[in-house]
Structure 1
């Protein structure tokens, strides 16, 4: 079977293997584009998955990065997000790829990560997996929720039990502003008491959005809230 790379349109020929005789995994990227994706490996922050191998020692505190250390020093945020796992470095290739996917409406690009996400989730225990919702404004602009689409292409059924109240970008705010902002999410139609929750988003940047959602869920009685993101910015 021959397909075209979702990124560069190069012909991708299916590689047969003994495993493939029983189960064939479709190839959505050519070898060249696949190699440009950098999986996060080696020593990483236990809080947010940031690679620690290139960080100066003064930015690492007890096996976590300084940013996560600061979150845990704040009584209002300590323990709110159990941990975040990220799959890839947010390098230039992935940045451009996700820009095409999110802002130019190229929904099919989500297929490239379907096998990786599906395989990773088989190793995780959770009662609900919740994609971070977009505001109505952002959803109208893009036409789809990028996080929901990534899960659906991975044959994962998400729980849509959070809604977003507004869409102001966290990256535009100072750290102090992010820490004291009002809640941006609302919980609808589900009892999460004593449940293990996994949040899902495309990119972990400051961690504020995920922690806002986690705080709401913890206040509603969730036992533990973690997150999985495609990339660590």
Structure 2
């Protein structure tokens, strides 16, 4: 029996209308849908996708829980366990469509599983989705980059000891859990700052200065810090 194929499919940042036609097709054409969490129906990716593809409710939903911890041994164990669950299904000749927020190539959980699956001899494919920072910029009605401006995309929680001192514009992802420290870094930068929290979701909020951003902003908070304030 031929093995199935594992797809890492980005569902976009939150607005179901931003899902790609390819993502919708793959969900419709395949019976097994994996989602990153303990309870599939409670994951953000499911809540987005089911609005665009109602038949997702009738699919076989596979929870792939990988704890968000700093213990590298536990992280690797979670990745290995998740890959093993998927491999068991692939060995039955069935495809697995793993749904992930945003784009499947940007800080995506599936890519860790992908590495294990490919090492074990399974076929995988990444399917791009609209990234959170592009959606946030569109929501703010601003360009992230113009002409020859560099764009720096960084996970803010891992860069708190640095400075935003390079030419061009910055996108800060994964900011929510350390927002007070991120705000201090932004304040020192002297840049024009805007943030979208929960972009494209019902509880979306927009902030147009460092001072407006609350210290308790949620995990899905994306910041754009521009060197040139002309477009803000």
TM-score range, shorter chain: 0.3 to 0.5
